[in-house]
Amino acid sequence: MKLTFSAEDEAFRAEIAGWLRKNLVGEFAALRFRGGPGDEHMFPAERKRWEQKLAEGGWTGIGWPRADGGRGCSIEQQVIFHEEYARAGAPGRVGHIGEGLAGPTLIAFGSEAQKLKYLPGILAGTELWCQGYSEPGAGSDLANVKTRARPDPVGGGWLINGQKVWTSLAHEADWCFVLARTEPDSQGHKGLGFFLVSMHQPGVVVRPIEQLTGTSEFNEVFFDDAVAADIVGEPGDGWKVAMALLGFERGVSTLGQQMQFQNELDEIIRIAKSNGAAVDPVIRQRIAEAHTGLRLMRYNAMRMLSGSDSGHDQASSLVYKLHWASWHRNLGVLAMDVLGPEAEIIESAPYNLTRLQSLFLFTRSDTIYGGTNQIQRNIIAERGLGMPKEPKGKLS
């Protein structure tokens, strides 16, 4: 692994840190340290305006090629951006699915017309995206997708029918990328298409899911002959495009996630010092383990990013989801133990949870969404270690 910072990089660090100091004030001051896990529902309108503020400053798509409207920053500079963004307490991004997933996928697989159509709205922070992967019968096993796409006899494109679930911020999104079957009798990885679907049309219904935290950043999304504006690649290419997108998900944006984790751990340490929990040797050991785990996560991300095939399906990237999900779930438990017995007490309805209470409840889902721990272990065994595929039982 080689990841060092040059004088030019440090100048870049000073630029972004200075911009954040100057702009994370006024109407945006209330957004500091908000919008993280368990808090993603907060301040949606203000965070949308923040996305546009970032765009005005030239801080969206910084890793995209200049030819596609990005800033063409190096991996090192992207790392610096995420470090300084989190250090300043800048809010969780509502545009990260568009910028971190949809945009890179279109750059890699989209036509020139599709790039011209979709990339400017992502870069400007004016069009938000959501991810249409999980389904009631295909949460972790994406190859079980049942949502269908059929040719539109009138418009000549494709019509989407089916249901997606656990769709983050679908109620705020303008567009959804949808994995759907273009061949009715196909199974597994075959016969899939990767579609771009407007959320603002008849035939698209978003139904919020009330979670354990009492909030609803997750949703069910129903498609009833919804028109797909475009297909990326050819019919049948869906699996290839979808897997590449997941590779982007494990890319440099993982560092932004880790910076949020660091802020959460810092808050827990601050509370432990102030309420005396830090004198408990067991608590001290668990805090040290949390710190060590986060550092391991960071260096593994650095190793991924400094590799020749950064962000793709290399062995070092396969362990990432399993590692951070378990680490974060344990952090939620640690937060409750540091807070003490009062952490389990809420005075009365409405049940306004503190940030750490929300964190604890939300992290119960970390080892489930985005691929369960069980599925992740199968992926590591089969793709990373080359072990035989898991035997599949047949339903009678």
Is there a contact between 175 and 196 (Cβ–Cβ < 8 Å)? yes
| Farthest CA pair distance, the chain | 71
Residue type at position 285:
Q
The number of helices, as runs of H, and strands, as runs of E, in the chain is 13, 7
Q: Any catalytic annotation for residue 10? A: no
Secondary structure letter of residue 133 according to DSSP:
-
Which candidate in 40, 83, 172, 249 is catalytic?
A: 249
How remote is the C-alpha of 168 from its chain's centroid?
9
d(CA 216, CA 180): 25
Q: Which tokens in the block code for residue 381?
A: 């065994």
Q: Is 192 left (phi over 0), alpha (psi -120 to 50) or beta?
A: beta
Residue 241, phi-psi category: left (phi > 0), alpha (psi -120 to 50), beta (remainder): alpha
Half-sphere exposure of 343 (CA within 13 A, CB side): 20
Q: Would you state the structure tokens that stand for residue 175, as one six-digit string?
A: 């567009």
Q: 224: helix, coil or strand?
A: strand
As a whole number of angstroms, the distance between CA 318 and CA 320 comes to 6
In whole angstroms, what is the distance from residue 208 CA to residue 355 CA? 21
Query: Token pair for residue 105?
Result: 């996928």
Contacts of 373 (CB under 8 A, 6+ apart): 322, 325, 326, 367
The tokens of 247 are what? 């590779």
Give long-range contacts, CB 8 A cutoff, 24+ apart: 186-189. Answer: 187/143, 188/143, 189/143, 189/239
Distance separating alpha carbons of residues 149 and 127, to the nearest angstrom: 24
Catalytic residues: 249
